[in-house]
Structure 1
Amino acid sequence: MARLLPTRTDAAVERSDNPAVLSLDDAATRDVIEALSSETAYDIFRLLNETPATPSRIADQLDQSVQNVHYHLENLESAGVVEVTDTCYSEKGREMSVFVVSEDPTLLFLGTEDDRPSLKRAFKSFASLLGPPAVLLAVGESISRFVTSE
């Protein structure tokens, strides 16, 4: 028997080419760092970076309670690093949000607004040597090492 309501999503993780740059004196920086500071939240973020998922699927994959996953998803969503992209339905017909990483990647700059002009020059020089995909990969790795070392 065919189901009337979709139980899976066809949403995909898509990222734009324009990263948001957060510096130490930016109010959003603290929110992002606090949201990712928990090991569970970081694991959720990494999972969503690979594939969209519902809170119950995340809970199953990370061996966490759905309530705990909801708590961390709320924090990650309010910090702007994940967002709802789709809706699907459980076997019982309950509506479930499908989460993904935010469309705009975020670059965390450990300097102040005053340091941004020199950052932009350095970033442009670096990008012209390696190309945009390599820069985004390097930035992502640097941020993940920074967050996991905390």
Structure 2
Amino acid sequence: MSSLLPLEPSAAGVADRDIDPKLVDLADAEADEILSAIASRTARDILAAAYAEPRTASDIADAIESSVQNVSYHLDRLCDADLLEVVETWYSEQGREMAVYGPTSAALVLYAGAEQSTPSITTALERVLGGVGVVGVASLLVHRRWRALQPSVRAVRGESAQQSVVDSASAFATGPGGVALWTGLLVVAGLFALWYWRTYRPARRRTA
């Protein structure tokens, strides 16, 4: 009779998990713990194997040709250093739970130097303003092109070519130029919000 327990389902790899890169300054205290945890070749092989594919301790031992006891020792240290974590639980045919280990970050980067690794929000806002300018110019060109097609329509309707400022603004807001402007602004705002939540905030938390 086959077991009703799941037997080694596919575990999500680094590319499939919503995790960010880990940036650590060599001057930080965290770097000491990380360097201590990966000081041995075995620990680095274990870390590389987990990045390649989430695995159990026995699978990692087979992959790097080491004993399960040795691998388990280094796994505990790598977890304590917040480099690996249990990402899933598999079950053996006997129903025994087996922890599946995967990396806690999309990449591990140790850096040295005074330059801040945190993305600059000032630079990002400058790019946003530049994007807004491009959107504004593009929307005006769309509006002018659309207006160039209007004289023949007004002539057919017997309308005057002269418009007040209010009428011109209203025509822009309700015409293709206005649509292009608001669509472009929404795209720029969405990209900035995505950058802020996916890049800036995680980087600030890591360097805080």
TM over 0.5: yes
Kindly report which structure 2 residues correspond to 1:32-71, keeping only aligned pairs within 5 A, or say none. Answer: 32-71=34-73
1:90 matches 2:89: no
**TM, length-normalised to structure 1:** 0.69
Deviations 1:64-115 (A, max 9, x none): 111111100011111111111000112322111000111343321123xxx1
Structure with the higher fraction of residues in helix conformation: 2
Q: Which residue matches 2:6? A: 6
Q: Larger C-alpha radius of gyration, 1 or 2?
A: 2
Q: Which residue matches 1:128? A: none
User: Which amino acid is 1:31 matched to?
Assistant: E
Q: How far apart, in 1, do the equivalents of 2:52 and 2:26 lie?
A: 28
User: Which amino acid is 1:69 matched to?
Assistant: V
1:97 alignment partner, SS class: strand
Q: CA deviation at 1:17?
A: 6.8
Deviations 1:106-138 (A, max 9, x none): 321123xxx133x568xx9xxxxxxxxxxxxxx
User: Which amino acid is 1:116 matched to?
Assistant: E
Q: Which residue matches 1:116? A: 115
Runs of 4+ in 1 over 6 A off after TM superposition: none
**TM, length-normalised to structure 2:** 0.51
Deviations 1:41-65 (A, max 9, x none): 1111111111110001111222211
Listed as ranges, the gaps of 5+ residues in structure 2 are 124-208
Q: Which moved more, 1:71-80 or 1:89-98?
A: 89-98
Distance 1:71 1:18, change over 3 A: same
2:86 alignment partner, SS class: strand
2:9 alignment partner, SS class: coil
User: Which amino acid is 2:93 matched to?
Assistant: E
